[in-house]
Structure 1
């Protein structure tokens, strides 16, 4: 069992994780742009961004689960499940979630970089100057 400051900081960091994960998937949900043909382009149209969205939802759900355990731990100064299973659950569940988040972030950055490089070339050829800032804003927000 950790000390009170360690448990409190764990709770605060898990709350930050939850809010950042929720903010990222809300940002993906609200981000849309008018496409070349007049339609709307949203994150679901690009499979990699759907993966990024999924990782954010999974991270938010996991953080919410861990927040409930951390609140109990801080308030009662003991673990909710008083066996050796609880610390092992924290360790072995945090690892795959952190790897999942890392792959989501990496995939999101990689596809955004590739799209920006591609679209810069397309806009240089087509010279559609009014669409370039809108697409840049869309990709930067995603």
Structure 2
């Protein structure tokens, strides 16, 4: 079985669509995190006393927001390398240290995205459970929070696919 980064003399990949799926995973991660932040930032509820409830009122949602921002930055840094790899059929930087860095950075990014998605889902479920139907506007806010959290989870799964790709780039 050929390794993912093996090409014949004409530069044609001898295996699967590895470079395309690597780039696609990065792009899905980026789009998912952008949508997650967009929905999270626009979700607010104004109570009768004039107080506006936003994601800033909950630590779990702030953690989710900042991890998503970090994830967008990291993914934006990785996309040019994935594009180059897809177009040229070779790595821009062939250094073992760089490939190892990508491997561990992808693993760290998965952990951050997974913990923030878990924290947001957990906080939402707990607050909904204890607030009950006593505060309908809070229930509406929390119901909408499921949307960005789900997109964050999709971004985490796409990042996991990128992580598998980065592990396959390491020399055997």
Q: Tell me the TM-score normalized by structure 2.
A: 0.72
- Counterpart CA distance in 2 for 1:82 and 1:69 is 11
Q: CA deviation at 1:68?
A: 1.1
Structure 1 unaligned blocks of 5 or more: 124-130
Matches within 5 A, 1:116-127: 116-120=128-132, 123=134
**Larger helix percent:** 1
**What do the CA deviations read for 1:1-29 (whole angstroms, capped 9, x no partner)?**
62541111010011000000011011111
| Correspondence 1:101 to 2:113 | yes
Report what 1:84 is aligned to: 96
Matches within 5 A, 1:35-114: 35-114=47-126
CA-based RMSD: 1.6
Report what 1:128 is aligned to: none
- Counterpart CA distance in 2 for 1:56 and 1:140 is 19
Structure 2 unaligned blocks of 5 or more: 7-12, 146-172
Q: Tell me the TM-score normalized by structure 1.
A: 0.86
Which structure would you say has the larger RCO, counting Cα contacts within 8 Å and 6 or more residues apart? Answer: 2
Match of 1:135 among 133, 138, 142: 138
Report what 1:18 is aligned to: 30
- Counterpart CA distance in 2 for 1:84 and 1:97 is 20
Runs of 4+ in 1 over 4 A off after TM superposition: none
